[in-house]
Amino acid sequence: MERVVEPSAKVMPLRRHSEWITFGVMVVVLLIAPFFIYPLFLMQALCFALFACAFNLLIGYVGLLSFGHALYFGWASYIAAQAAKVWGLPPELAILTGTAAAATLGVVAGSLAIRRQGIYFAMITLALAQMMYFVALRAKFTGGEDGIQGVPRGHLLGLVDLRSDMAMYLLVLAIFLAGILFIHRIIHSPFGEVLKAIRENEPRAISLGYKTERYKLAAFVLSATLAGAAGSTKALVVQIASLTDVNWPMSGEVVLMTLVGGLGTIFGPVVGSFVILVMQYKLAFLGEWVLVIQGVIFVACVLLFRRGIIGEIANWLRIRL
Partner 1 sequence: MRKTFVLAALAAALTCGAASAQQINVKIGVLTDMSSLYKDATGPGSVMAAKMAAEDFMKTHPNFKVEVVSGDHQNKPDVGVQIANQWIDVEHVDMIADVPNSGVALAITQVAAQKNKVFMASGPAASDLTGPKCNGNMVHWTYDTWMLANATGKAVVKNGGDTWFFLTSDYAFGHALERDTAAVVEANGGKVLGKVRHPINTSDFSSFLLQAQASKAKIIGLANAGGDTINAIKQGAEFGIGSGSQKFAGLLVFASDVNALGLKTAQGLSLTETFYWDMNDATRAWTKRWQAALKTPDKWPVMNQAGVYAGTLHYLKAVAALKSAADGKAVVAEMKKEPTDDPLFGKGTVRVDGRVLHPAYLFEVKKPEESKYPGDFYKLKATIPADQAFRPLKDGNCPLVSG
Partner 2 sequence: MVDIFGIPSAALFGQLLIGLINGSFYALLSLGLAVIFGMLNIINFTHGAQYMLGALSAFLLLKYSGLGYWSALIVAPVLVGIVGVIIERMFLQWLYKLDHLYGLLLTFGLALIIEGVSRNYLGSAGLPYALPDSLRGGQNLGFMFLPNYRVWVIVASLTVCLGTWFVIERTRLGANLRAATENPMLVRAFGINVPRMITLTYGFGVALAAFAGVMAAPIYNVSPNMGSELIIVVFAVVVIGGMGSILGAIVTGFGLGIVEGLTKVFFPEASNTVIFVIMAIVLLISPAGLFGRRA
List residues binding partner 2 (CB under 8 A).
1-4, 65, 112, 115-120, 123-124, 126-128, 130-131, 133-134, 138, 248, 252, 255, 259, 287-292, 294-299, 301-303, 306
Contacted entry of partner 2, partner 1, none for residue 208, CB cut-off 5 to 8 Å set by kind: none
CB of 12 to partner 1, least distance (A): 42
Q: Which does 238 bind (CB under 5 to 8 A by kind): partner 1, partner 2, none?
A: partner 1
**What residues contact 307, with CB distance under 8 A and at least 6 apart?**
5, 6, 8, 262, 263, 314, 315
Helix residue ranges per DSSP H, the chain: 18-32, 39-61, 70-85, 91-113, 118-138, 165-187, 190-200, 202-207, 212-238, 248-261, 268-282, 289-303, 308-317
CB nearer partner 2, residue 34 or residue 60: 60
- Residue closer to partner 1 (CB basis): 181 or 286: 286
Q: Which residues bind partner 1 (CB under 8 A)?
A: 38, 40-41, 44, 137-138, 143-147, 149-150, 234, 238-240, 242, 244-245, 280-281, 284-285, 287-288, 290-291
CB of 74 to partner 2, least distance (A): 16
Least distance (Å) between residue 218 CB and partner 1: 31
Give buried/exposed letters for 188-220 (b at 16+ CB in 10 A, else e): eeeebebbbbbbeebeebeeeebebeebbbbbb
The distance of closest approach from Cβ of residue 102 to partner 2 in the complex, given in angstroms and rounded to an integer, is: 19
Task: Please choose, from the candidates 303, 278, 301, 213, the residue with its C-alpha nearest in 3D space to the C-alpha of residue 33.
Answer: 278
Task: Return the closest-CA partner of residue 151 out of 92, 244, 84.
Answer: 84
The site partner of 4 among partner 2, partner 1, none (C-beta below 5 to 8 Å per kind) is partner 2
